[in-house]
Amino acid sequence: RILEDAVGCTAGPKGLTVAISKPYGSPEITKDGYKVMKSIKPEEPLAAAIASIITQSASQCNDKVGDGTTTCSILTAKVIEEVSKAKAAGSDIVSIKNGILKAKEAVLTALMSMRREVEEDEIAQVATLSANGDKNIGSKIAQCVKEVGKDGVITVEESKGFKDLEVEKTDGMQFDRGYLSPYFVTNAEKMLVEFENPYIFLTEKKINLVQSILPILENVARSGRPLLIIAEDVEGEALSTLVLNKLRGGLQVAAVKAPGFGDRRKDMLGDIAVIVGAKYVVNDELAVKMEDIALSDLGTAKSVRITKDATTIIGSVDSSSESIAGKTNQIKAQIENSS
């Protein structure tokens, strides 16, 4: 009930603001339901466990779609409440679970039948609402969505000067693989890896021993630029050495697993290679070994942003190049054929 009152009152365009007390300093005034949810810490163990479950649910919603956390918190709390009532009335937990799953499918089917394409002004309205009524932010986000399309990626960066809010369109890509170790993080507050002008090394192979990539590490370290490694996996001695090197303030490096599986992984690594301008994707079929890779063989990007779940490569090679144009047409054809 506390959660429903505190979080629920922030929902919607007429949502109220909530004051969150702090151990030090003035209370924080907000209408961000997710922030309010995270601040609720009941002392009673059962209530604390329920609050933790709801917070995790809202956190997953925030990670996947970036919004809807208040609604998610309210719905999760209501599901827990109704499940408790059903259990007290004698229903067994398996039947309750099966009922929830059936209801979920029915709701999803109904929602799919109601969906429609949204207009630019509607996107601006939703964005303005999420920005606590800031129409400038809302219109800028609508502009971004229009420019990149439904398959595009929008990222938010803090200005490095005194610039007002601005929109910049760059070429790049995003895939659902995050950093292999949290020790790679460069922004501890946001738990992000953020690289500027990094080199990018691609391989279909697993990297277990650091010796195989030592020449690459040494060459990149001498250049003074960061390094992103995208491989089938990086583990054992190789991962430990990369982490230790990062913690000691040496080479700025991060490793992520390659997206996809089997032939799909091979294709996606090929896509990344074209986008970042890498000459090789090292594999067992290639005559060139990891030890032979030179700096000029590596890919590059304007910046890279890595979370625990996703990697975004921003500012790749010239989008007008024949290789990019050819790959873009190929991917569009594959999407059309699969739909």
Are 172 and 301 in contact by the 8 Å Cβ rule? The answer is yes
pLDDT in tens, 62-117: 877 777 888 888 888 889 889 999 999 999 999 999 999 999 999 999 999 998 88
- The closest alpha carbon to 37, from 4, 82, 78, belongs to 4
* Residue 322 pLDDT: 62
* Residue 102 pLDDT: 94
pLDDT at 317 over 60: no
Is residue 123 very low, low, confident or very high in pLDDT (cuts 50, 70, 90)? confident
Whole-prediction pTM value?
Answer: 0.59
The per-residue pLDDT of the chain, averaged, comes to 84
Looking at residue 306, its amino acid is I
- The closest alpha carbon to 77, from 99, 50, 43, 106, belongs to 50
* Residue 83 pLDDT: 92
Domains of the chain: 2-111 (1.10.560.10), 116-169 (no CATH), 172-338 (3.50.7.10)
Tokens of 325: 């144009």
Find how far residue 148's CA is from the centre of its chain: 17
pLDDT at 243 over 70: yes
pLDDT in tens, 181-231: 999 999 988 899 999 999 999 998 899 988 889 999 999 999 999 999 999
Which of 23-32, 52-61, 232-241: highest mean pLDDT?
232-241
- The closest alpha carbon to 28, from 42, 38, 43, belongs to 38
pLDDT at 315 over 90: no
Are 6 and 36 in contact by the 8 Å Cβ rule? The answer is yes
pLDDT at 321 over 70: no
